[in-house]
């Protein structure tokens, strides 16, 4: 995998080994950032970060900071290694459950301009209610939220739907506050 655009365009990034993590492919990342638009100086929250590809892409494209939330320790190590290799500052990796991390961010009053949500395919239904309850509290006023699911899932959240698009076996759904 490579960074698609920005200051680290073309640089290779590692992905965790095994079948547990499904990194967002180059084509889908490029499509996502076409839908999102410029991210200069944005604060980003990358949930179910996996390989960290989406958050790394945001940092490469000029985001001020990115908090990566990933419960798998091996995947979190890979994100840290990618941040170091790419010399991207502003990245913080949190190894914990997404719901616990969201509660903590909410309780601390932290708000994000861009939230990236990419649960393992097949887990959206199990995660949807908790995410619907917690995500709104961490969104800045003009924030965007991007959800990646399998193409068969059409996520719903208590936010305004901007667009939903299919890319092969993936679906990107963009919400605004």
Cα dihedral 12→16→21→27 (10° resolution): 10
Does residue 3 fall inside a structural domain? no
What whole-number percentage of the chain has pLDDT above 90? Answer: 77
Instruction: Decide: residue 18, CB within 10 A, 0-12 exposed, 13-18 middle, 19+ buried.
Output: exposed
Does residue 16 fall inside a structural domain? no
**Average pLDDT across the chain, whole number:** 92
Does residue 15 fall inside a structural domain? no
pTM of the predicted model as reported, rounded to 2 decimal places: 0.93
The pLDDT of residue 19 is 47
Provide the CATH number for the domain around residue 52. Answer: 3.40.50.150
Q: Given a cut of 50, is residue 40 above it in pLDDT?
A: yes
Structural domain boundaries, residue 164: 26-176
Residue 56 tokens, joined: 């790394």
The total domain count for the chain is 1
Does residue 14 fall inside a structural domain? no
Does residue 6 fall inside a structural domain? no
Does residue 4 fall inside a structural domain? no
Does residue 10 fall inside a structural domain? no
Does residue 38 fall inside a structural domain? yes
Reported as a single tens digit per residue, the pLDDT across 104-132 is 999 999 999 999 999 988 889 999 999 99
């Amino acid at each position: 995998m490579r960074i698609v655009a920005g200051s680290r365009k073309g640089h290779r990034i590692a992905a965790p080994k095994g079948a547990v993590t499904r990194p967002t492919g180059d084509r889908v990342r490029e499509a996502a950032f076409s839908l999102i638009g410029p991210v200069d100086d944005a604060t980003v929250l990358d949930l179910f970060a996996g390989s960290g590809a989406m958050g790394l892409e945001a940092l490469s494209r000029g985001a001020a900071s990115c908090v990566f939330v990933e419960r798998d320790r091996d995947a979190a190590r890979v994100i840290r290694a990618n941040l170091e290799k790419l010399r991207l500052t502003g990245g913080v990796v949190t190894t914990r459950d997404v719901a616990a991390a969201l509660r903590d961010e909410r309780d601390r009053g932290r708000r994000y301009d861009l939230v990236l949500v990419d649960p393992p395919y097949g887990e959206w239904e199990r995660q949807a209610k908790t995410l619907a309850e917690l995500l709104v509290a961490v969104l800045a006023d003009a924030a965007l939220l991007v959800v990646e699911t399998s193409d068969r899932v059409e996520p719903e959240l208590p936010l305004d739907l901007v667009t939903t698009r299919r890319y092969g076996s993936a679906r990107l759904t963009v919400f605004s506050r």
